[in-house]
Amino acid sequence: MSQEADMWAQADQTTISSLTGSDIPVENLKLPANFVWGAATAAYQVEGAAAQDSKGKSIWDTYSHLEPSRTNGENADVTCDHYHQFDEDVKLMKSLGMDTYRFSIAWSRVIPLGGRNDPVNELGICFYNRLIDCLLAHGITPSVTLYHWDVPQALYDRYKAFLNTTEFRADYERYARLCFTRFGDRVQSWVTFNEPYIISIFGHLNGSLAPGHCLEASTDTKTEPWRVGHTLILSHASVVQIYAKEFQPSQNGKISIVLNGHFYEAHDESKQADIDAAQVRLEFYIGWFGDPIFLGKDYPASMKEYLGARLPSFTLEDLELLKATCSINAFYGMNHYSTKFARQLTTPPAEDDWTRKIEESAVNSKGEEIGPASSMPWLRIAPGGFRKLLNWVWKRYHLPILVTENGCPCPGEADVKIAMDDQFRQRYLGLYLDSISQAIYEDGVNVEGYYVWSLMDNFEWSSGYGPRYGIVHVDFNTLKRTPKKSAYYLQETFKTRRKGQP
């Protein structure tokens, strides 16, 4: 057991009841006056206009049209039609008092075939210029994600995208340079990749997200997810170095990556194996990317010991790049939704096991649930776990934290009345904002801002249009937008929480 694991085992022994959010009040605790808030979206989930103005196909355009369907029989060809209605959406953000908007650029909209020698689509460039200019005209700061899961299909067809590190890095570097050149005079905040864990595991091991690689012939789920992660880490570092050398001196922006992660509690607090499992699960989930990117070092020892030759090795040149770029990352982008229990299993693992045989669950050894469930069974209200994760990340990486995604879909939200009067979501948001306040003022964690997921209901990847995460309701027949009560709750709560605070 590591020293850090021991520290957490002996630290705040918060009871399960205080984690659940079912029996604690929302206190509307204070936040700093300069604490920024906004909403987040992803290009494929909201833009629509899937083949308009010379846009090329992405892996999600392909994946969402497969037969039999892997996306609930639905696709994002139109979705929220943000491509045509962004001006209305920006005005809505302004009316709700948002400071910032996090969105992603669709790589295949600006370079339809994706590659470093492929032509640029000026119509795609024009769209993002108009969006950025509209945001700035309304006093909203744009935060741009370069990659949110939608690699151009042409690159996947050519060389399987992330599975060829050399080719992907070269194409991604050209794409990033294009974005910095065309948009960097007005964009001050950049994210290289959104959730590399999901890209690696869900896209290339269990196949539940595009490209669904493991379901294809001749795949190797023992090694390929770790190769994908390796490509993402090195591609991130390359682009950070490019930005720092070629663009940051004149543009004065900041750049980093967004990592997602649950917090983990021991399934049985009386078992050392489960206490250790909770720490190891964090290292496999977050440390996998965080340690090389933010610390400039090798993968966590727990991963190297368990995975052995399945885990790629960094060359001396790679490590030099990571060391040179780790301090350039200006913030830690955190996507967080819930907390789980971790249980160490003793049965023999599968050949492609990626968890060190650790089982995740919402119920502990005493039969206690981690918290009330949203309409997604895995996503439960557990604000105490959020506070602990903020502390874990801060103590490990010592970087200002931006909560780049946080939110939930309400139970029963298919009913419009429940969707509009979304009390479950309001409670979730209130408790999680309280946890941020506690982390800042009681624990000394530097948290700079918060993006709710999501601005509006949208295409929720493999779940289609079932779960609704938006604080704005979208009627997908008429595309009418209507703010839910949670939107007005956030508008008012940030006014109140930031008022007069240092």
128/179 Cα distance (integer angstroms)? 10
Active-site annotation holder among 195, 224, 265, 460 = 195
145 CB-near residues (< 8 Å, 6+ apart): 42, 102, 103, 104, 105, 190, 191, 193, 194, 258
Q: How many CB atoms lie within 10 A of CB 217?
A: 4
15/17 Cα distance (integer angstroms)? 5
For residue 502, whether the previous peptide bond is cis, meaning omega lies within 30 degrees of 0, is: no
Q: Are 390 and 435 in contact (CB under 8 A)?
A: yes
367/16 Cα distance (integer angstroms)? 11
Please choose, from the candidates 244, 181, 198, the residue with its C-alpha nearest in 3D space to the C-alpha of residue 60. Answer: 198
Q: Are 356 and 280 in contact (CB under 8 A)?
A: yes
Q: Are 138 and 94 in contact (CB under 8 A)?
A: yes
Q: Are 41 and 104 in contact (CB under 8 A)?
A: yes
Beta strands in 389-500 (DSSP E): 401-405, 447-453, 472-474, 481-483
Please choose, from the candidates 128, 111, 127, the residue with its C-alpha nearest in 3D space to the C-alpha of residue 119. Answer: 111
Residue corresponding to tokens 């990659």: 147
Residue corresponding to tokens 């108009």: 130
- Quick one: CA dihedral 267, 269, 271, 274, positive or negative? positive
105/44 Cα distance (integer angstroms)? 9
Q: Are 260 and 193 in contact (CB under 8 A)?
A: no
Residue 94 tokens read as 């302004």
270 CB-near residues (< 8 Å, 6+ apart): none
Q: Are 253 and 189 in contact (CB under 8 A)?
A: yes
167/150 Cα distance (integer angstroms)? 17
Is residue 448 part of the annotated active site? The answer reads: no
199/214 Cα distance (integer angstroms)? 12
Is residue 195 part of the annotated active site? The answer reads: yes
For residue 211, whether the previous peptide bond is cis, meaning omega lies within 30 degrees of 0, is: yes
CB-count burial class (<10 Å; 0-12, 13-18, 19+) for 284: buried
Residue corresponding to tokens 């190891």: 280
Active-site annotation holder among 47, 224, 265, 405 = 405
What positions carry a catalytic annotation?
Answer: 195, 405
